Structure formats: C-alpha cells, structure tokens
Amino acid sequence: MSFKNKVIWITGASSGIGEALAYALAKEGAILILSSRKVAVLEQVQQSCLKDCKEVYVQALDLEQHDKIPAIVQKVVKERGHIDILVNNGGISQRSLTQDTIFEVDKRLMDINYLGTIALSKALLPTFLKQQQGYFVTVTSLTGVFGTPYRSAYAATKHALHGFFDSLRAELREDNIDVTLICPGFIKTQVSINAFVGNGEAQGSMDNRQNNGMQVDVFTKKMLRAMRKRKKEVYIGKKEVVMIYIKRYMPWLYHKIIARVRVR
C-alpha cells in the first residue's frame, strides 16, 4: 500500500513515535493532520514535515476532553473532505506500584489512553462507513498483551484497546475498513519521562530500559511495513517481544519471569 496522497491523521504527533511517524509519512508524500495538546510543538513538527510534502495541518486535540471530540472530527472531515487513515497514537504511561497509585491516576489513564481513543475512533467511524473505506491504526503496547510490575493502570488501558479494536475489526470485516494494532516494546522516546507516578505527577526521568530501547526511526520503519501489509497485530521491540510467546506457550514460565523482570 502506498501512502502517497493519503490523508492520515496522527494523534500524539508532537513527540516520540507520533513525531517520527509524521516525518516518515511526509517523505512518502502523505497529506498529514497532526494532533496533540501542544500546538506550538506541533507547528514545529509541521514545518519539518513541509520540507518533504506539500500538505500538513495542525489540529489541537486533548483526548481527555471527550465531549469536544465529535465537533473536532466534524471540522476536520469538512475541511479535508475525507480521512484515509487514523493513527491512534496519543496517550501517557505509568511508573508506579499499584499500592502507591491513587485512584485518580487509574482514572486519568483510562480517560486519556482508552476513552479518548475510543471517542475519537467512534466519532470518525461514520465517515469511514460512508466512504466504504478507512483504516484504524492503534498504537498500544506489549503491555496490552501481558501485564508487568509498575504498569497496572497503563496495562489495563492497553488491554482495553485490544478488546475494543479486536471487536471492531470483526464487525467491519465486510465494510472495507481495516484495523491494525501496533504493540511497541521499549522504544527510545520520552514516554518514561512523561509517565505518571503514583500521585499523578510526571516521573521526570528516563528509565534505563527505555533508554536502551529500539531507536524510534527503526521502530517507525517496522510500523510502516506492518501498515503497508495491513497486518492485524504486530509486536515491535527487542528481546522483550519474546515474552509474548513465553506467555502464550509456557504461561508457567511467564509468571515466574514477570515477577522478577526489570521494567524500569
């Protein structure tokens, strides 16, 4: 599948995976819509993308403000005429033990990572159905398949995304609308710096595992390869990906390893 002239909406496009994906798709000649809360940063990303493609638009979007999302979608669809691909990449992570995590953090993570993504996808779904074509690409995590220490709330949001989009894919099998779940492992981005700790503040530091993770440009190439093939679910990372298969085929071993594994 070629991305040239495809209208692609990316959330969480101001940094990390979303930013790197925007640059890669700009080189492919896509028409981009970049969203996050940080408009000034998005405008910098926009200018960098415009070196390689002709059309890049900025649309402010806060995934936590669910009630505003339908109107934003209507505005974007009216302005662009149609959307070919929605990349659900926006979200935030967590670094805290369950016993140290206040309930408000669990709720905020669910509001942003899960409910915000669902609100946006459901608001765009009627457009995809009317077009009789569309493509949802949702960035989850390996923790959407297995939980780890220090990620209880985060893993819950990613598991929820898997449940929703697996169901949506099955419902849309005859409507020419595809769903891909992209599951990163440790990717070298700012995700751990911005992650919530138990009291809801940002951690403010880079995890060792994150710092030694896959380079984001390498990840992006693998993600685009999966999107071209419209894969249903892909796992991208280094040796941490093996835990998927250990849990699937040797669950007894998975449970021994996961309780001791260093995830920070």
Active site residues: 154
* 177: nearest Cα among 127, 243, 141: 127
Neighbour order of strands in the sheet with 134-139? 56-60, 31-36, 7-11, 85-88, 134-139, 177-184, 233-236
Contact 53, 32 (CB under 8 A): yes
CB atoms within 10 A of CB 182: 25
**In contact, 43 and 58? CB cutoff 8 Å:** yes
Structure tokens at 9: 């909406």
Q: Please state at what angle helix 117-131 crosses helix 152-171, rounded to 10 degrees.
A: 10
Start-to-end CA distance of the chain, whole Å, equals 37
Degrees to nearest 5, angle at CA 242 with 240 and 248? 130
Please count the other Cβ atoms lying within 10 Å of the Cβ belonging to residue 104. 11
- Alpha-carbon span 72 to 158, nearest angstrom: 24
At 214, give phi and psi (nearest 5°): -60, 140
